[in-house]
């Protein structure tokens, strides 16, 4: 049996109004991905001044921004301060062209930080002098000039925070051992990339639009390995050395060591305490690595590739400077690395 209900036009309108209200206040996330939310706080400054004269307008904006920050659950994360001035001279106040715009933006930034702390990223878009050249006959209050005298705030979602998790598998020779090849759609604008490679070394580079490497970590390990007798794991060193001058193992960030005399010189570099060297150590990464290194030495190889052991190595990424993507090379086993990016 079907239950049929008649809804009056009054009740229908009430439900629609509730839905519309909820949509405006809670569910505008999809719109905010495309269009920033704008707040005009120009009236906070007296004409020609950069000190905040009235805070009612900016306080109201900050309160509204705070509500959006909470309701968006992290999607909205950046306030852009847009500051502009006209080309009317700032006479008698000791300011050069462009100073007023810059100082107003700085004052707004300080004030917002005093209210919101680190809960949101703040960026300044200082536009400087804008509009037509100054004509004394028109007067400083002419709309041609005043429309360029403003300070606004844009609350938006900036693609500047992401976490990339590697597959944890060794790269393939057919792919130059690349295990991450990520475009700038993951990191837009200006940020910092940090590679956490674990105990097995990996290498991360940033590549610009022309294909040039702009940043390079070299091979790094960010955690201690399990072989306490060794500074460097022999198998990792032999593998990197075998691949030297390949696409994966190249660049001026490689950590290289040149052996002048006998093989023992290399062992002394690999070991924490050379006097504790154990020829019968059968652990695979030790034994196989030592065998490979001896073979390389006997073939006349004297330059070997080590790696840096660091806690972390943040590197900059800036699409405004042409950075296009980051690439991770993993020729050494199950690395399980992660790459994190922050604004």
Average pLDDT of the chain to the nearest whole number: 84
Confidence band for 33, pLDDT divided at 50, 70 and 90 = very low
Confidence band for 96, pLDDT divided at 50, 70 and 90 = confident
**Highest averaged pLDDT of the listed ranges 59-63, 116-120, 156-160:** 59-63
Asked if 207 and 213 count as a contact pair (C-beta separation under 8 A), the reply is: yes
User: What is the enclosing helix (H) or strand (E) of 221?
Assistant: strand 213-221
Asked if 327 and 181 count as a contact pair (C-beta separation under 8 A), the reply is: yes
**Mean local confidence (pLDDT), 177-188:** 80
Does the structure show a pLDDT above 70 at 264? yes
Does the structure show a pLDDT above 60 at 290? yes
Please report the sign of the dihedral spanned by the C-alpha atoms of residue 52, residue 56, residue 57, residue 61: positive
Distance, in Å, from the CA atom of 164 to the CA atom of 143, rounded to the nearest integer, reads 49
Q: Model-level pTM greater than 0.75?
A: no
Q: What percent of the chain has pLDDT over 70?
A: 83
Residue 35, pLDDT score: 61
How far apart are the two ends of the chain, measured CA to CA in Å?
59
Asked if 69 and 119 count as a contact pair (C-beta separation under 8 A), the reply is: yes
DSSP assignment, residue 246?
S
**Mean local confidence (pLDDT), 268-287:** 94
Confidence band for 22, pLDDT divided at 50, 70 and 90 = very low
CB atoms closer than 10 angstroms to residue 189: 16
Higher per-residue confidence, 91 vs 219: 219
Which range (129-138, 274-283, 300-309, 326-335) has the least confidence? 129-138
Distance, in Å, from the CA atom of 149 to the CA atom of 222, rounded to the nearest integer, reads 50
Give the sheet arrangement for strand 308-309, strand by strand.
178-183, 323-329, 202-208, 213-221, 308-309
Residues of the chain with CATH 3.30.1330.60: 35-156
Which CATH number is associated with domain 35-156?
A: 3.30.1330.60
Does the structure show a pLDDT above 80 at 249? yes
Which range (227-236, 296-305, 330-339) has the least confidence? 330-339
Residues in Cβ contact with 221 at an 8 Å cutoff, skipping those fewer than 6 apart: 197, 198, 199, 200, 201, 307, 308, 309, 310
Distance, in Å, from the CA atom of 85 to the CA atom of 102, rounded to the nearest integer, reads 9
């Amino acid at each position: 049996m079907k239950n049929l209900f008649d809804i009056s036009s009054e009740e229908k309108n009430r439900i629609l109004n509730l839905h519309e209200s909820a949509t405006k206040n809670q569910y505008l996330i999809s719109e905010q991905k495309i269009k920033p939310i704008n707040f005009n706080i120009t009236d906070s400054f007296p004409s020609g001044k950069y000190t905040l004269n009235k805070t009612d307008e900016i306080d109201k904006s900050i309160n509204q921004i705070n509500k959006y920050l909470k309701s968006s659950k992290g999607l909205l994360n950046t306030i852009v301060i847009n500051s502009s001035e006209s080309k009317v001279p700032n006479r008698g106040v000791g300011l050069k062209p462009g100073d007023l715009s810059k100082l107003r933006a700085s004052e707004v930034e300080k004030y917002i930080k005093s209210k919101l702390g680190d809960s949101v990223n703040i960026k300044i878009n200082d536009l400087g002098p804008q509009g037509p050249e100054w004509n004394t006959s028109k007067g400083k209050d002419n709309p041609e000039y005043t429309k360029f005298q403003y300070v606004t705030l844009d609350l938006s979602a900036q693609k500047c925070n992401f976490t990339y998790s590697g597959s944890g598998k060794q790269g393939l020779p057919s792919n130059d051992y690349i295990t991450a090849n990520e475009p700038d759609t993951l990191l837009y604008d200006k940020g910092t990339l940090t590679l956490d490679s674990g105990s097995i070394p990996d290498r991360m580079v940033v590549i610009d639009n022309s294909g040039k490497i702009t940043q390079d970590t070299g091979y790094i390990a960010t955690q201690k390995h399990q072989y306490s007798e060794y500074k460097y794991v022999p198998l990792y060193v032999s593998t990197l050395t075998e691949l030297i001058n390949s696409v994966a193992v190249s660049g001026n960030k490689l950590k290289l060591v040149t052996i002048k005399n006998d093989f023992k010189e290399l062992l002394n570099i690999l070991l924490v305490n050379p006097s504790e060297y154990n020829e019968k150590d059968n652990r695979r990464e030790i034994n196989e690595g030592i065998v490979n290194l001896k073979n390389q030495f006997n073939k006349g190889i004297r330059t070997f590739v080590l790696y840096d052991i660091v806690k972390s190595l943040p590197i900059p990424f800036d699409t405004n400077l042409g950075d296009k993507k980051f690439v991770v090379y993993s020729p050494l086993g199950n690395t399980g690395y992660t790459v994190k990016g922050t604004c």
